[in-house]
């Protein structure tokens, strides 16, 4: 008796980009199950010139029967047509795919494999490395004082299914878990070191209800319409194509559910005394991020992006994290780490002069001075936006 098929996949061909995509799980028990797929692949191959792209970024599983069928078509086409090049686009999120398809390059050198996220958003590497962890911890501690009250105004309540996308070290997920007792909580990030840290913190605090997963926010393996509430904090501002991420957040949100994002407008960080120097440095910080294709001015633009992504009932507000929120030293710690990370690594990477770096550092030091001054005031504004996916 034939075993029931474990396949559940979609194949698409985009003629404009000469891109053949396979999404899902391809595990046929018999070659005949792939008839339609093979036919589409062969007719697509017959019509292309130059490079043919095979997108397997979201192909989660593939058995040997399917691999041989796909490989056979690609190898045959390349040996019949030496002008043809096949680029198989894999993702590090689906660990086996680069290795498996990479073997085809030995059979025919015109078949190459490109792991599209191996050099992902180069500017973001600053934000994915271990040294960013203490900053994220203190930042979340300070923003939570505000957000725990703000979140219910955006639809957060107990018992929801929640996803926190670009979760970083997972502190926000832990706080949400404790405060709002979700029915399910998934936290996704593309930094293995941050996720490792997040898992360790959860284990240390005996929290077992959070599913931490490695993934790419722009190409999530999560299925459509699963979550009542999707959060994505301080992350749209670091993507050069925030609309692509929002599209994914929209996709995984249930109709009637809400997506909640927070972002900054960094040039509006402020402080007194020494306001002028502080202002200069944060204006420059905004330009520094723009140099690496990141938009730290994104906050007030969130409404436009949410409306254009198809959300309705868009709600927006902003809050100011200040030195008066709690221990002023916490605020000072954040600013100190910004100075190290931005005036240190990032500014150096851009090739800034020693004079520039000195002045750039001074603004952070003045912000810190204002935060700790007995009559001083220092602030960091954050914008919150949420939108409903139409029912």
Ligand X SMILES: C[S@@+](CC[C@H](N)C(=O)[O-])C[C@H]1O[C@@H](n2cnc3c(N)ncnc32)[C@H](O)[C@@H]1O
- Is the CB of 370 or the CB of 382 nearer to ligand X? 382
CB of 281 to ligand X, least distance (A): 19
Look at residues 23, 31, 40 and name the one whose alpha carbon lies nearest to residue 5: 31
> Taking CB positions, which residue lies at the least distance from ligand X?
168
- Is the CB of 27 or the CB of 57 nearer to ligand X? 57
E strand map for the chain? 8-14, 19-26, 51-55, 59-62, 85-90, 111-115, 161-165, 184-189, 210-214, 227-233, 253-264, 270-272, 312-322, 377-388
* Number of C-beta neighbours around residue 54 at 10 A: 25
Can you state the angle between helices 133-150 and 328-338, rounded to 10 degrees? Answer: 130
- Is the CB of 167 or the CB of 314 nearer to ligand X? 167
- Is the CB of 235 or the CB of 321 nearer to ligand X? 235
Tokens matching residue 206: 């005996």
CB of 11 to ligand X, least distance (A): 25
40 Cβ contact list (under 8 Å, min separation 6): 11, 13, 20
CB of 85 to ligand X, least distance (A): 27
Pairwise CA distance, residues 2 & 65, whole Å: 15
CB of 188 to ligand X, least distance (A): 6
CB of 329 to ligand X, least distance (A): 20
CB of 23 to ligand X, least distance (A): 18
> Do the beta carbons of residue 257 and residue 224 sit within 8 Å?
no
CB of 360 to ligand X, least distance (A): 20
CB of 140 to ligand X, least distance (A): 5
Which position has the token pair 């015109």?
A: 110
- Is the CB of 27 or the CB of 233 nearer to ligand X? 233
Pairwise CA distance, residues 23 & 371, whole Å: 51
Can you state the angle between helices 192-204 and 133-150, rounded to 10 degrees? Answer: 60
Tokens matching residue 106: 């030995």
Tokens matching residue 299: 């906050």
* Number of C-beta neighbours around residue 172 at 10 A: 22
Pairwise CA distance, residues 198 & 196, whole Å: 5
- Is the CB of 110 or the CB of 268 nearer to ligand X? 268
345 Cβ contact list (under 8 Å, min separation 6): 126
CB of 239 to ligand X, least distance (A): 7
Interface ranges with ligand X (CB under 6 A): 121, 124, 127-128, 136, 140, 166-168, 172, 189-191, 194, 216-218, 233-235, 238
250 Cβ contact list (under 8 Å, min separation 6): 259, 309, 310, 311, 389
Tokens matching residue 61: 């599983």
- Is the CB of 123 or the CB of 376 nearer to ligand X? 123
- Is the CB of 41 or the CB of 187 nearer to ligand X? 187
- Is the CB of 20 or the CB of 197 nearer to ligand X? 197
- Is the CB of 57 or the CB of 388 nearer to ligand X? 57
């Amino acid at each position: 008796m034939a075993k029931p098929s474990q396949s559940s996949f979609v194949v698409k061909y985009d003629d404009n980009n000469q891109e053949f995509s396979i999404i899902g799980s391809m595990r046929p028990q018999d070659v005949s199950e792939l008839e339609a797929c093979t036919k589409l692949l062969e007719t697509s191959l017959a019509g292309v010139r130059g490079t043919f792209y095979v997108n397997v970024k979201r192909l989660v599983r593939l058995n040997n029967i399917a691999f041989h069928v796909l490989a056979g078509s690609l190898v045959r086409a390349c040996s019949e047509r030496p002008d043809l090049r096949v680029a198989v686009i894999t993702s590090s999120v689906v660990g086996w795919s680069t290795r498996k398809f990479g073997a085809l390059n030995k059979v025919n050198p015109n078949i190459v494999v490109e792991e599209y996220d191996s050099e992902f958003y180069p500017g973001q590497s600053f934000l994915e490395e271990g040294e960013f962890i203490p900053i994220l911890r203190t930042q979340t501690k300070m923003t939570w004082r505000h957000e725990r009250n703000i979140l219910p105004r955006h639809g957060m309540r107990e018992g929801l299914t929640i996803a926190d996308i670009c979760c970083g070290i997972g502190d926000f997920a832990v706080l949400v878990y404790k405060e709002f007792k979700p029915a399910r909580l998934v936290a996704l990030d593309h930094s293995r070191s941050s996720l490792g840290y997040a898992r360790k913190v959860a284990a240390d605090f005996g929290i077992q209800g959070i599913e931490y997963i490695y993934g790419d926010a722009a190409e999530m393996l999560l299925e459509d319409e699963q979550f009542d509430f999707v959060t994505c904090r301080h992350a749209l501002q670091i993507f050069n194509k925030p609309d692509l991420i929002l599209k994914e957040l929209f996709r995984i949100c249930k109709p009637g559910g809400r997506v909640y994002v927070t972002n900054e407008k960094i040039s509006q960080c402020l402080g007194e005394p020494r306001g002028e120097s502080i202002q200069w440095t944060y204006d420059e910080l905004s330009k520094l991020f723009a140099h690496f294709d990141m938009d730290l001015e994104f906050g007030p633009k969130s409404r436009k992006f949410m409306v254009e992504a198809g959300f309705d009932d868009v709600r927006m507000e902003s809050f100011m994290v200040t030195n008066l929120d709690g221990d002023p030293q916490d605020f000072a710690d954040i600013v100190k780490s910004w100075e190290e990370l931005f005036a240190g690594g990032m500014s150096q990477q851009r090739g800034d002069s020693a004079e520039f770096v000195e002045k750039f550092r001074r603004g952070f030091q003045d912000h810190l001075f204002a935060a700790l001054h007995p009559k001083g005031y220092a602030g960091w504004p954050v914008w919150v936006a949420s939108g409903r996916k139409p029912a």
